[in-house]
Amino acid sequence: MIALKNADELERMRGAGRIVDRALAQMAAAVAPGVPTITFDRIARDVIFGADATPSFLHYPAATRGVAAFPASVTVSVNDEIVHGIPGERTLQAGDIVSLDCGCAWRGYHADAALTVGVGPISPAATRLLDATAGALEAGMRAVRPGGWLWDVMAAIQAHVEGHGYGVVREYQGHGIGREMHEPPSVPNFLGHPRPPNVRLRPGLTFALEPMVTERDWHTRALDDGWTVVTADGGLAAHFEHTLAVTSGGVEVLTRS
């Protein structure tokens, strides 16, 4: 069942969103050649715990049996890694692109956001991929209208991505969010088959919209750690995300200050 949020619940999600936004801004500012990826986990923990919130990702249970719960407060995915990268002692290199995904719960409600940034100067091809992925998120957000349909949002993302010649990841998608980090409805970034139920966009609906875009083919594979997802063909990937609330006047971005 899809839970529509009341004014108090939305205010709690705004609070969580402000914390996530602050954590991502500090992490993005710290991106530089030679920085170990574990640095971003430390920044996220400092910001989140310092705001009397809790990280949404830390100890999140794995979907695969026998895989340990997620060990960090943020996912850090580099180059061909799409999502769920585990931060560690690996250091960033000049020309890399790195996707940072962060979520937290504040007063019982979650917010979740992600961005991809370059490590120093990056190639024109990587720049175009990042621009197209950020543009896909904006296209999806522009399609959110009270009384409209979730399929319109999905179609807007797919049209933007494929119009730029890139692939839309199928296996991973956006999601409803609120009291739980993952709630109904599922929010794929494409109109494939089978399609999820078409959801009416009503005020109080909250969801995380997160296009994951590949340089070439959209197929993915998981690494042996059971978490990190990479492109099957080794091409680059980018990921942008915001937590949104449908309002009577349109859409509110809860994770953008």
Residue 52 covered by a domain? yes
Q: Is 194 a residue whose pLDDT tops 90?
A: no
- Domain limits at 51? 7-253
Residue 2 covered by a domain? no
- Mean pLDDT for 216-231 is 97
Residue 1 covered by a domain? no
pLDDT > 90: percent of the chain? 95
User: Alpha helix locations (H) across the chain?
Assistant: 7-30, 38-50, 124-142, 150-163
pLDDT band of 14, cuts 50, 70, 90: very high
Residue 37 covered by a domain? yes
Q: Is 192 a residue whose pLDDT tops 90?
A: no
Q: In what order do the strands lie in the sheet with 229-231?
A: 81-83, 229-231, 220-222
- Residue 229 sits in a domain whose CATH number is 3.90.230.10
Residue 131 covered by a domain? yes
Residue 244 covered by a domain? yes
- Mean pLDDT for 21-40 is 98
Express the helix, strand and coil content of the chain in percent, nearest 5 each. Answer: 25, 30, 45
Residue 91 covered by a domain? yes
Does this model's pTM top 0.95? My answer is yes
pLDDT band of 195, cuts 50, 70, 90: confident
> Which residue in the block uniquely carries the two structure tokens 């370059």?
118
Can you give the pLDDT at residue 257?
Answer: 82
- Mean pLDDT for 159-184 is 97
Residue 64 covered by a domain? yes
| CA angle in degrees (0–180, nearest 5) for 251-254-257 | 110
**pLDDT of 95-136, one tens digit each?**
999 999 999 999 999 999 999 999 999 999 999 999 999 999
Can you give the pLDDT at residue 87?
Answer: 98
Summary mean pLDDT of the chain: 97
Q: Is 202 a residue whose pLDDT tops 90?
A: yes
Q: Is 42 a residue whose pLDDT tops 90?
A: yes
**pLDDT of 48-97, one tens digit each?**
999 999 999 999 999 888 899 999 999 999 999 999 999 999 999 999 99
Q: Is 217 a residue whose pLDDT tops 90?
A: yes
- Overall domain count for the chain: 1
pLDDT band of 232, cuts 50, 70, 90: very high
